[in-house]
């Protein structure tokens, strides 16, 4: 399809008209739409798996775990909780508002939402966000990534079968089409991607003062710290699994591992063994190993690996035709080297040794950089780990685990600063796509004149006394 500014404008205009009709305000109707999306995920499971294989080389298990089952779980949580979440909050108005006794806070949809989704988890990061938008009572224009064309085509088909264009529609195309969308006035924008593009999205949104939610990977990547008292085998196993997943193309993936130098060598050996145990001696020969999304992504990965060629201790080879690059350990790497000061989004894994006694200095360095979307700690010192989690700035994280924090029912998924703003998943997604609206009901009788002029004079002195009594 050839997209034009006029076509996009008509789509947005049609959705605005539909929203103003009030259909989406009915909570039972929203639940029905969520159920339709859930059924569609099951009907098209094989086609989704095939599209993910064609675009990203994903295996059936990884496709289900990361993009199909995850969406179904998210929709289930929305269906189960929506009626509770959507009920107006009832508050005591307080003596200062007498004779009003109660005030309601309504959770109102924004209206017409724009969802801009990335390539790396096309269904999770599109339909997961869409579920929150539907739960909130919005209409939605979805701009998918041009880097995952098979997934985009399938999402277009799936959505068009169950929803009219004036309610939800999927738009393909490249950056030019995204800009056509951003030129329109939306009521809410949800963008998932890079900090650089997020700045552009925010600038466009600012023209209409449109509220924005951003889920970003972080400018300087996510750190994983392995202390000298950690279970090295367990840490290596989990880190290897995560780095292999989607070939490292995950916003919450480990960008670099900082390992206590006292255990760095044995940790490296455990990590090598974990990679081999999970993917084989050569990942390029394993059909389950995912690929990088494009030739540009492959070359960026390969070129950066070549810069550190003399320090590659595992992996380091790729296949441009297959767009696959081996999980690659680079060791040792200094904390200030370029490779650990930007998001990699690849299977490269720099390992930074540090004296365990200087871990607080390392944390200061991390804190001075842009906030990551995730932080992972491996240690037996849970008291120290809890303190770090409470005091560092990052989106979310795990102690002695990786990535599973984003799978917890009822917990928000979010970033801060260069790793994003806003939050979603479950109730948090409902909140992200609604705005609280406070409505007080007044009465025509028993109204006290405390707030009204005149305030001076002997007979009005009681007003100040009463105000001081009520507003304490």
Residues 6 or more apart whose CB falls under 8 angstroms from that of 325 comprise: 247, 292, 298, 301, 302, 305, 315, 317, 318, 319, 346, 347, 348
d(CA 259, CA 363): 13
d(CA 220, CA 368): 11
* Residue 224 known to be catalytic: no
**3-class DSSP assignment, residue 276:** helix
**3-class DSSP assignment, residue 103:** strand
d(CA 348, CA 201): 29
- DSSP secondary structure string for all residues of 324-381: EE--EEE-S--TTSGGGSS---SSEEEEEEE-GGGHHHHHHHHHHSPPEEEEEEE-S-
Helix 195-206 × helix 175-182 angle, to 10°: 30
Which residue, 267, 273, 262, 257, is CA-closest to 351? Answer: 257
The active-site residue out of 215, 270, 304, 370 is: 215
Residues 6 or more apart whose CB falls under 8 angstroms from that of 445 comprise: 99
44's enclosing H/E stretch is none
Longest dimension (CA), the chain: 93
* Residue 181 known to be catalytic: no
Residues 6 or more apart whose CB falls under 8 angstroms from that of 442 comprise: 99, 100
The active-site residue out of 181, 224, 251, 398 is: 251
327 is written with which tokens? Answer: 């999980």
427 is written with which tokens? Answer: 């109730």
Residues 6 or more apart whose CB falls under 8 angstroms from that of 417 comprise: 370, 371, 393
d(CA 259, CA 12): 51
147 is written with which tokens? Answer: 């880097």
d(CA 208, CA 191): 16
Question: Sign of dihedral through CA atoms 63, 69, 72, 78?
Answer: negative
61 is written with which tokens? Answer: 């298990």
Read off φ and ψ for residue 90, nearest 5 degrees: -105, 120
List active site positions.
215, 251
């Amino acid at each position: 399809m050839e997209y034009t500014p006029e076509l996009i404008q008509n789509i947005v205009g049609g959705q605005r008209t539909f929203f103003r009709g009030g259909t989406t305000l009915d909570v039972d109707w929203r639940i029905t739409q969520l159920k339709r999306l859930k059924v569609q995920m099951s009907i098209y499971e094989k086609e989704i798996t095939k599209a993910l294989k064609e675009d990203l080389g994903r295996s059936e298990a990884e496709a289900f775990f990361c993009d199909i089952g995850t969406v179904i779980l998210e929709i289930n949580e929305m269906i189960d909780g929506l009626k509770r979440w959507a009920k107006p909050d009832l508050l005591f108005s307080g003596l200062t508002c007498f004779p009003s006794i109660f005030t309601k806070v309504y959770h109102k949809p924004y209206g017409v939402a724009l969802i801009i989704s990335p390539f790396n988890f096309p269904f999770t990061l599109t339909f997961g966000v869409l579920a929150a938008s539907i739960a909130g009572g919005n209409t939605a224009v979805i701009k998918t990534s041009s880097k995952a064309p098979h997934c985009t085509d399938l999402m277009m088909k799936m959505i068009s079968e169950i929803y009219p264009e004036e309610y939800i529609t999927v738009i393909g195309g490249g950056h030019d089409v995204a800009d056509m969308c951003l030129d329109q006035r939306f009521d809410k924008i949800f963008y998932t991607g890079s900090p650089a593009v997020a700045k552009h999205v925010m600038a466009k949104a600012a023209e209409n003062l449109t509220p924005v939610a951003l889920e970003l990977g972080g400018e300087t990547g996510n750190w994983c710290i392995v202390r000298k008292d950690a279970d090295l085998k367990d840490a290596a196993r989990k880190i290897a699994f995560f780095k292999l997943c989607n070939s490292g193309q995950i916003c919450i993936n480990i960008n670099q591992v900082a390992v206590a130098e006292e255990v760095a060598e044995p940790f490296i050996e455990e990590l090598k063994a974990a990679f081999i145990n999970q993917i084989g001696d050569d990942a390029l020969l394993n059909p389950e190993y995912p690929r990088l999304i494009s030739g540009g992504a492959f070359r960026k990965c390969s070129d950066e690996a070549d810069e550190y060629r003399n320090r590659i201790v595992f992996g380091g080879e790729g296949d441009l035709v297959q767009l696959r690059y081996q999980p690659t350990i680079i060791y040792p790497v200094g904390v200030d080297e370029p490779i650990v000061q930007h998001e990699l989004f690849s299977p490269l894994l720099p390992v930074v040794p540090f004296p365990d006694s200087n871990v607080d200095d390392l944390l200061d360095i991390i804190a001075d950089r842009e906030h990551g979307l995730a932080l992972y700690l491996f240690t037996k010192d849970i008291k120290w780990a809890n303190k770090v989690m409470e005091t560092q700035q990052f989106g979310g994280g795990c102690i002695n685990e990786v990535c599973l924090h984003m799978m917890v029912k009822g917990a928000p998924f979010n970033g801060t600063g260069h790793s994003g703003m806003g939050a979603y998943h479950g109730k948090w997604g409902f909140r992200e796509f609604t705005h609280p609206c406070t409505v007080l009901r007044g009465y025509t009788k028993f109204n006290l004149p405390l707030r009204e002029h005149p305030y001076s004079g002997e007979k009005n002195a009681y007003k100040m006394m009463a105000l001081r009594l009520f507003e304490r």
